[in-house]
Structure formats: structure tokens, C-alpha cells
């Protein structure tokens, strides 16, 4: 392989990028727009759940239970109702997600030492929000039950009785359980995959449509030199996009960065090489820019969004789908990003994912050069 010829192809691509300012601005503005839009709009946090209270008892103890929900940051008590029809009407209007129904004999059952039943009515049209809201509500009811039980024991014993066992919860790496702390690092992988594949998917197809591919084929250029030359120009643009997204993630969204920036740059560059080479391979498979663009979107955005663990946990997917996820490099890079940002780990832990990214880039490069060699022949 001749480095001089590779640099000549890279210079040609750099000049093409600079002569097309609209594409250059789009390549730099699209990542910013995506990370800002997805970062603010895409969230899995469930708090301030709109809630109603149907208090049939109207006693101080029932009001105390309602106050527990109103004082929690996970619930927003909008008011009270006086019938099930009013509850159904508000849920049908999508005004509330949860209604707490306190029975008429709530205080009397507590005074008798029995456990009254509290009904929770949930809007299950959004199953994820409903299940999370149910978990929060059960936690509050359990805490209220423990407080009532401890108060009853205190009255009987005449002194304060501490519980024999106390559990303390400690969450590592994302103590506030904020979804942006793992969504934003995943967005970096998603953006790099989409931008990398789209930037290079049009390169060879454009040469065929403009009629300049025959001129390139008449030169001493080898397929590897042509692929690396075209990739290197867009690699610099992709590194700029990666730096912008990392700065926004840390400075704007406040995502903790506990690992090494050098290790992040190295693994990000390796992932970007694979994404760019994949776009060149798609461009070599199609002589139409429209076809290459559609193939790039289909094979980059959808797998990166759905099959990488970015939003949906891979462990919860069916076995055949979990097997398919191993073929997409975004899965490994998202694991690396979460390890670097949240856990602060490095090569000693993430070596397997780094090797798989390198293997993916090498495989795509080999397939691309073989495909381009057949085209040359």
C-alpha cells in the first residue's frame, strides 16, 4: 500500500468537503441537534405522577396517608374526588395516572389492630409508567405500614421499640438514578454510528453517478488505498463530532466523567473507523446515492437504537434477538461508554469489547477491499 496515493485520495475528499459548505454544516450541526433533542426529550425517569385521592374515611389517619403521597417527589396529588365515576372520567381524559382509594373503615381497622386494604387504581395504557408508579406507591404504603406498626408497639410497650433489622440501600455509579446519565453516553454511540455511516455511504456512489469512478479506476490506486483515503477525510470530521457530543454531554447535561479521556478517544476512534468503513462498504455495494443512503439508515440507525442496549435492556430480549445483537458494534461501544463515564473503568475491564470493535473494523475493511477489487476487475 502506497501512503502517497492514500494521502492524495484523502486530500481530494477534504477539498470536496470544503467545497460543499452545506454538507459540512449539516455534518457538524446534526450531531448537536440530535444530542440536544434526544438528551432533553428522551428520558425514562418517572416522577411527579399525576395522582388523585378518593378518601372515603375522611379521618386524620387517612389524611396522613394521603399526605405521604403528596410529600413524595414521585407523586403530584392534583386533588380529591368523591366517586369512582369521577376517577374513571379523569383517567379517560388522560389527566391522571394513579388514584388512591382509602376505604371508609380505614381508621377503625387501624385502631382495632387490623390491616385495612388501600386500593390503587392505575392507568395501564402506558405499562412502563404504570409499573413504576405501582412500585413507588407500594413502597410508600409499606413505609406507612411500618410506621403504624412501630407506633402500635410503642404504645403497648410504653417505650420506643427499634426494629430488629434495618436495611440501607446504596446505589453505585448513578446514585440519583437519573436516566440521562446512561442515555447521553448511549447517544454518543448512536450519533457516531449514524453520522459515520451516512458520511461515507455516498462517497463511492457519488463517484459512479458523476462519472469520475472510471478515472479513479484507471489510476494505480489499490482498493485499500481508495478506502482508507476516503475514510481518513471523514474520520477527522467524525472526531470533531465526537468531541462536540462529549463536551455537551458533560458540560450541558452534567453526565459524570469518571474514566480516562484518552481511553475514550481511542475507543471512540476505533468505533468510528468501523462505522466509516461500513458506510464505504454500502457505497461500494450500490452505485446509487439514494440506495446507499437508505441502506445506511436501515443498517445504522435502527440497530443502534433498538438492538444495542441503548434504550431496551438486551437481557430482557428473546434469545434469538439477543444473538443478533452480537453482530452490531454499537452494543460493545455503548458498554464501553457506560463503563468509562459512570464506572471509571478502563482496558483492564473492557478489553473484550475493545477487541471486538477492532475485529469488526478489520472485518469490514477486508470485505470492503474485496468488494472493490471485484468492481475493479
**Which residues have C-beta within 8 Å of that of residue 338, sequence separation ≥ 6?**
182, 185, 186
pLDDT for 162 beyond 60? no
Q: Which pTM value belongs to this model?
A: 0.77
Q: What is the mean pLDDT of the chain?
A: 82
Average pLDDT over residues 73-98: 88
Encode pLDDT of 352-375 as tens digits: 999 999 999 999 999 988 887 755
DSSP state for residue 190 in the 8-state scheme: H
The whole-angstrom separation of Cα 74 and Cα 66 is 13
Average pLDDT over residues 189-211: 77
Q: Which domains does the chain have, with CATH numbers?
A: 3-43+178-376 (no CATH), 49-157 (3.40.1710.10)
Encode pLDDT of 296-351 as tens digits: 888 888 888 888 888 777 887 888 888 988 988 999 999 999 899 988 888 999 99
Higher pLDDT: 5 or 193? It is 193
Question: Tell me, what's the pLDDT at 356?
Answer: 94
From the number of C-beta atoms within 10 Å of its C-beta (0-12, 13-18, 19+), residue 138 rates as exposed
End-to-end CA distance of the chain: 18
Amino acid at each position: 500500500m502506497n501512503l502517497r496515493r492514500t494521502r492524495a485520495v484523502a486530500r481530494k475528499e477534504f477539498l470536496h468537503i470544503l467545497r460543499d459548505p452545506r454538507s459540512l454544516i449539516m455534518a457538524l450541526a446534526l450531531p448537536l441537534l440530535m444530542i440536544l433533542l434526544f438528551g432533553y426529550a428522551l428520558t425514562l425517569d418517572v416522577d411527579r405522577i399525576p395522582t388523585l385521592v378518593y378518601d372515603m374515611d375522611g379521618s386524620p389517619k387517612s389524611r396522613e396517608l394521603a399526605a405521604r403521597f403528596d410529600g413524595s417527589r414521585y407523586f403530584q396529588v392534583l386533588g380529591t374526588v368523591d366517586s369512582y365515576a369521577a376517577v374513571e372520567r379523569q383517567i379517560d381524559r388522560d389527566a391522571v395516572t394513579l388514584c388512591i382509594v382509602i376505604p371508609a373503615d380505614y381508621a377503625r381497622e387501624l385502631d382495632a389492630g387490623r390491616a385495612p386494604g388501600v386500593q390503587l387504581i392505575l392507568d395501564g395504557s402506558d405499562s412502563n409508567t404504570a409499573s413504576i408508579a405501582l412500585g413507588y406507591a407500594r413502597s410508600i404504603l409499606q413505609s406507612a405500614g411500618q410506621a403504624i406498626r412501630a407506633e402500635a408497639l410503642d404504645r403497648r410497650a410504653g417505650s420506643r421499640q427499634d426494629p430488629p433489622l434495618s436495611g440501607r440501600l446504596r446505589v453505585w455509579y448513578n446514585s440519583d438514578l437519573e436516566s440521562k446519565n446512561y442515555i447521553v453516553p448511549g447517544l454518543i454511540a448512536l450519533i457516531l454510528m449514524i453520522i459515520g455511516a451516512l458520511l461515507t455511504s455516498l462517497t463511492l456512489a457519488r463517484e459512479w453517478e458523476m462519472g469520475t469512478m472510471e478515472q479513479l479506476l484507471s489510476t494505480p490506486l489499490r482498493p485499500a488505498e481508495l478506502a482508507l483515503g476516503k475514510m481518513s477525510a471523514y474520520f477527522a470530521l467524525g472526531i470533531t463530532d465526537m468531541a462536540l457530543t462529549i463536551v455537551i454531554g458533560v458540560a450541558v447535561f452534567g453526565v459524570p466523567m469518571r474514566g480516562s479521556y484518552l481511553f475514550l478517544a481511542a475507543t471512540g476512534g476505533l468505533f468510528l473507523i468501523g462505522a466509516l468503513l461500513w458506510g464505504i462498504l454500502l457505497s461500494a455495494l450500490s452505485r446509487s446515492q439514494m440506495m446507499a443512503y437508505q441502506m445506511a439508515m436501515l443498517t445504522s440507525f435502527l440497530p443502534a437504537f433498538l438492538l444495542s442496549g441503548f434504550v431496551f435492556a438486551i437481557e430482557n430480549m428473546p434469545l434469538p434477538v439477543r444473538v443478533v445483537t452480537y453482530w452490531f458494534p454499537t452494543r460493545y461501544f455503548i458498554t464501553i461508554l457506560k463503563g468509562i463515564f459512570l464506572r471509571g473503568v478502563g482496558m483492564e475491564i473492557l478489553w473484550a469489547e475493545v477487541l471486538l470493535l477492532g475485529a469488526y473494523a478489520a472485518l469490514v475493511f477486508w470485505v470492503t477491499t474485496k468488494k472493490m477489487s471485484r468492481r475493479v476487475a
